[in-house]
Chain A
């Protein structure tokens, strides 16, 4: 009896393994690149420019009216994106809309940032240890790491021991400011390759936001006032040269906000269709405007936003998702379901955690192949002169799991002796 059970268990293992491996093999062979267009905004013409690729080459950019430009023309039309190369060739305009443009100020104000679903977590979120750099001196590795659990602790990296004196000093400062231990979200730059030290932005147990810095070895903790009903979900510290911005903050209800350095002002951005766990957002800022590009599986939206946070212009485009291309359609005809071990929507290269995800049974296209395989299995049973009664489970397996079950029951064959 047990040998029968062992066979079904092996078949099950086979199905699991095949449901993972065969779709990967299929994608490796037939995957198509989705050429998401890149959107640029020109402050000169107040219009968007769209750069597309096809599989072989970069196509000429077009504006929203469909007029074609050469690459060089587009560079000139969008000076805020290509200032360094325009500066080199002497084509950078002196001023736009009355604002004086020079390359130094441009460098100071330029920001470019992308959030992908898989990069929403900060690296320090895993171990919850971070270095706190001295803000007043040259940037050097502090030699200890900070943890904020029941209290603040600094662990020396060489000796692996807690520095009690420093820990006590900081814990007192935290308690004085009303911080409720432990820390939840921590945003900052842990690298020592940086221009300046802004410290860390930390939320406490209650969700209140604090700014932590160290000056001359002393703790400097400031509470940051939050707007009403403001629950922080993700926070990314931005290292920009102009010292104007601290963080992008995404709230529980998926609103996107900027935390400015001046008076710790939090401003909501007029972008409402962004779901951080599913979409990617690219943020570009300069001295004249911000531009946001939100990419989904089958669309791209771009918003030009002025420095008062009003939308000046927007652009939206949809394209064919993979599931509607030939390879995507065929996929649903062949595989009833697939097993994914990595985050379902993210690219395997960026995966942080392995999880068991079964996907599928969305369409019923697989039914044709399952029926065909069912008939073949039935014919094989007849040909091998096996009793149908003993093979009912096998038939059920093929009916439910299609190609995976068919391979599995034939590798682990049901023999009658």
Chain B
């Protein structure tokens, strides 16, 4: 059952995954081409100075990309399900409906984590070529809330998409915006370095939220 379920999910998200990977890679390429250009044209020391003394983030371009990927994967996975109420079929399988929902989310999460690992490695590791390890370490710290926001956005996208009533879709979206906003409270490098543990905690709180919408859907909330 797992295998066929995952295959069904993969068909839905494969295009979005490839697209996400492509966009992320192009952005990273752009970031490092820009760094390289700056090192050639101007004084490298001035570039370092901006990073070290103003806690400037040289890869700011990447800030909202993990968030976009999270939403995109979520939409590509759950929109087809609510179209013509196809999810009814899934929920009618000889399978516990909660289990089925969690399997969908588990697949999406695996997919996202794979994408995020590839992109974060591509983003952080080349930095070592241009910058000392202090900068690379703090850069890795800086992107944690951005990727966390992507994960949270994925779960909330599932919740909103499956929710059958428009009124509640709007409420969830408003609350979702305010929630995601918590991950973008500072523009300084490493601002979340003392907070990512509680943030990891609140992401795990939101991880099974889709079950609530599935339950309402199943009970015929219209």
Q: B-facing mask of A337-366, CB < 8 A → 1, else 0?
A: 000011000000001111110000000000
Contact with A along B211-222 (1 / 0, CB 8 A): 110111001110
A2, B194: Cβ atoms under 8 Å?
Answer: no
Cβ-based interface call for A309 (8 A): no
* Bound CA–CA A130/B52 (angstroms): 8
User: Is the beta-carbon distance between B132 and A341 smaller than 8 angstroms?
Assistant: no
- Tell me the A369-417 residues at the B interface (CB within 8 Å): 411-412, 415, 417
Chain A residues near B44 (CB-CB < 8 A): 143, 157-158
Q: Which of B25-33, B77-85, B115-123, B198-206 contacts A (4 or more CB under 8 A)?
A: B198-206
CB-based nearest A residue for B99: A2
Cβ-based interface call for B55 (8 A): yes
Contacting pair A147 B134 (CB below 8 A): yes
Q: Chain B interface: which of A6-14, A259-267, A272-280, A313-321?
A: A6-14
Given contacts A9-B209, A354-B195, contact A160 B53 (CB under 8 A): no
Residue contact A160 to B205, C-beta cutoff 8 Å: no
State which residues 4-31 of A face B: CB under 8 Å. 5-7, 9-10, 12-14, 16-18, 20-21
Which residues between 131 and 169 of chain A lie within 8 Å of chain B, taking CB atoms?
Answer: 131, 141-143, 145, 147, 155, 157-158, 160
Chain A residue with Cβ nearest B174: A411
State whether B45 touches A141 (Cβ < 8 A).
yes
Per the bound structure, the CA–CA distance linking A2 and B53 in Å amounts to 49
Chain B residues with CB under 8 Å of A352's CB are 186, 188, 191
Q: Is B64 an interface residue (CB 8 A)?
A: no
CB distance from A146 to the nearest CB of B (A): 11
Which residues in A have their C-beta under 8 angstroms from that of B194? 353-355
With both chains docked as a complex, state the minimum distance between the C-beta of B170 and any C-beta of chain A, in angstroms.
10
* A residues less than 8 Å from B13 (CB atoms): none
- Residue of B39, B128, B208 near A6 (CB, 8 A) is B208
Taking the nearest CB of chain B, how far is it from the CB of A310, in angstroms?
Answer: 38
Q: How many residues of B contact A (CB 8 A)?
A: 58
Q: Tell me if A131 and B185 are in contact (CB < 8 A).
A: no
CB distance from B61 to the nearest CB of A (A): 21
With A128-B134, A351-B186 already in contact, the answer to whether A143 and B98 are too (CB < 8 A) is no
Question: Is A142 a contact partner of B45 (Cβ separation < 8 A)?
Answer: yes
Q: Is the CB of B134 within 8 A of A354?
A: no
Smallest CB–CB gap between B65 and chain A, Å? 20
Residues of A within 8 A of B55 (CB): 123, 126
Closest Cβ–Cβ distance, residue A342 to chain B (whole Å): 7
Q: A157-B44, A160-B130 are in contact. Are A13 and B206 (CB under 8 A)?
A: yes
Chain B CB within 10 Å, residue with most, of A9, A18, A130: A9
A191 within 8 A of B: yes
* A417–B93 CA distance with the chains assembled, in angstroms: 22
Interface residues of B in 66-93 (CB under 8 A from A): none
* A352–B215 alpha-carbon span in the complex (Å): 42
Q: How far is the CB of A415 from chain B (nearest CB, A)?
A: 7
- The reply to whether the CB of B58 lies closer than 8 angstroms to some CB of chain A is no
The answer to whether A415 touches B186, judged by C-beta atoms less than 8 angstroms apart, is no
Instruction: State the CA gap A309–B31 with chains docked (Å).
Output: 54
Determine whether the beta carbon of A354 is less than 8 Å from that of B186: yes
8 contacts between A and B (CB under 8 A): A3-B98, A16-B179, A129-B52, A131-B49, A145-B52, A342-B185, A353-B193, A354-B191
Additional 15 contacts, C-beta under 8 A, given A13-B206, A157-B48: A3-B214, A6-B208, A10-B206, A10-B212, A20-B178, A124-B53, A130-B52, A145-B52, A160-B129, A160-B130, A191-B53, A342-B186, A353-B193, A354-B191, A417-B220
Query: Nearest 6 pairs between A and B by C-beta?
Result: A3-B215, A6-B211, A157-B44, A157-B45, A141-B45, A417-B219
